[in-house]
Structure 1
Amino acid sequence: MTPRHAPLAAHGVGSSQDLPLPFDLVLQAGTVAVVLSFLAVTVLWRTPRAGGARRLPAVWDAVLRSRAWRVPLRLVVLAVAGYVVGDALLGPRDATNPAAHALFVWLWVGLVPVSVLLGPVWRGLNPLRTLHAGLCLVLRVPVSGLRPAAAPGGRTGHWPAVAALLAFVWLELVAPDRTDPRLIGTWLTGYAVVQLGCALVRGASWFARGDGFEVYSELAGRLSVLGRDDDGRHVLRSPLAGLTAVDHPRGSTAFVAVWWGSTIFDSASGSPVWAGFVQTTGAPVPVATVALVGVCALVAASLRWTTRRADIALPLVPIAAGYTLAHYASLLVVEGPRGLLLLVQQWGVAPGAEVRVVPDPTVVAVVQVVCIILGHLVGVLAAHDRALRAAPGREHTLVVADELPAVLLMVGYTWAGLFLLFAV
């Protein structure tokens, strides 16, 4: 991050000294929690469990479906997005511009907890979908596209979203002057042009597989207790219900690998050792780019090698979401309100005011540890259930044996996540 936006670099607590327990004890506890949970499910969880869902009362379902609030909210989100992009391109080029906070804090970080709580909200709020609907109306282009995909998932699956997400994390973690409003505005404009162009050709369904942020929200929303049944009715469900669904577009595992790998890279790149190494190379951007792609590829390869299954993406979602919440917990609490203040101050509201949110380091440290361990525990449960579904009638001990490499990998990533958060 550039000096004028230095607070945006403060993602985590930053030191094992903030932990209320010895760091080695935390590592051991995380390992024991993952292993014991696996042993418990192998004994108690011998058949797939669909995870019951209960429909909401009709009145609440009608409220959630109502266009009376959905349409105005979409227009508000579109207006805010348009203002942020315009301000990034034409507004002040200093720390008073809220563009970096809007993109890196509100959207990238805030979308995970909101989606985990409320479901895939970005699908209904996506300003690109609103713009696409307007363009189709003006240009008289079918909403289904000029050349609709033959199948809802298309032959490409989530691979376009993988490319979109990789482009974003490169901007966030590697690009020089990445908090420069002009760079952010240019990137967002280019991203919108590409997405809208593809949607005009392939139809509105493109966003569900090509927009990195919508796929990001959709996967995180799998953990929400608020979902929909096959008839489209809103239901209350177990968080595991969304992780045991049979739908699995191509590229989903790669998407989770980029999501997870980029967060790991962000943690590792904050160490003095990495900073010193990159500067000595004389080519920090190419080196960091190769390292970012390499970490994401390593995560993807380790997942496929240990599981040897293509449908492992959904059980990995709670792990990726947990690590994201742990890594960016303090950033969201500290910089989220500050970004909102910067936005309203441009409208003449509360001039000269400051927001100083200083979370207790011990509280943040505990939240980070809980998020990582809880994410892995839910991942173990989801992976075990999917393994049972994939091999109906197979001997239980053989199913468990096939899961052991994945469990060992989860233990390793638990250690890595805790180490990178508190020891680097």
Structure 2
Amino acid sequence: MSPHDAADDTLLITVTGADRPGVTSRVLDSLAGSGVSVVDLEQILMRGRLVLGVLVTAPRDRKRLRRRLDAAVEDLGMTVEVEKGSGDNRSRHRDRAHVTVIGAPLKASAMAAIAGRIADCGGNIDRIERMARYPVTALELDVSGAQPDRLRQLLAVDAAAQGIDVAVQPANLLRHGVRLIVMDVDSTLIQGEVIEMLAEHAGFGAEVADITERAMRGELDFEQSLRARVKLLAGLDASAIDDVYGAIVVNPGARTLVRTLRRLGYRFAIVSGGFSQITDRLAADLGIHRARANTLEIVDGRLTGELAGPVVDRAGKATALREFAADLGVPIDATIAIGDGANDLDMLAAAGLGIAYNARPVVREAADTALNVPYLDAILYLLGITREEIEAADAAAGFVTPAPPLP
């Protein structure tokens, strides 16, 4: 029997008050002469207020321990409570999950709904940490006792009703390892659709936009719709591709996402139903390791209205993800796919984690989780990375980040 299994007779010591240096040290020093063992220890700091909880084995002399604690916290200007404990937090070993909640704003009513649903599932919130307070509010909840897949299904309903984003991931080692992130390009990595921008130059903007929207909703076969749209580009001067590339706007947070995760050894790839003449340049600009897309046929400096080579369609995106993972030596379970359209569905399903980013309803319903905020770097919060860590790493590398708004 381990010491933790035998620790049914324990004391829970809770110290609260204004934070200052040395609180934890003073409290533990007061316990040092009582012959107790530390079973668990947690500390939370919020707006300068500290809550320190220490679970210890029962002392030989409880009154003496209490006197020493009272003296320590009185000097610190804090308060202490001592009550009978209940052993270790064994619930943490059952069905553990990370639940990330993102809102702009994140209302108390929304958090109440999420916490209530977790409780309804038999789950316990063991720990809460703020991941970001601007430009969105993001909180991470460590939950035990609720089966992650079931929890994900139920919380998705609450998230939609409350107008927030909620992601549920099993707590395992994958979150801490090097991963491969594969992103769609149009309306995911960048704003808008490249083929629509090209069509504007050719005089068919409205017609192509209508076909694109129907294809992304899954109403049209992707390859057939793509070839029909490309035909409308026949005769367009190839210089229009340079004009379109110059007008591309990368989605907010995209560069931060890539920059931050590259520092941690992550690998990136983009897979697009768009065109390699654009995606190859994007990959080089952003520091993305792999890229795959369709290729516009160009003859004598003009688009022919045809594609060169095989089409990267819905199935082709999933194939690319698997091939990139194998090439880079990353297990499929350690891949993350991000997309918004129906042609991303197979890729999202093939990945270890599929994220629908500002996606059509058919994609949101099928993906593991959905993000509907306009900041691509919000994905970092799903990986357990805080805004403070991002800014500290940027500052160390010489990047200037804007000052946060006042709370």
Sort the TM-score into its range (normalised by shorter chain). under 0.3
> Normalising by the residue count of structure 2, what TM-score does the alignment of the two structures yield?
0.23
Q: Which has the larger radius of gyration?
A: 2
Point out the structure with the larger helix share.
Answer: 1
> Normalising by the residue count of structure 1, what TM-score does the alignment of the two structures yield?
0.23
Ranked by relative contact order (alpha carbons within 8 Å, sequence separation 6 or more), the top structure is 1
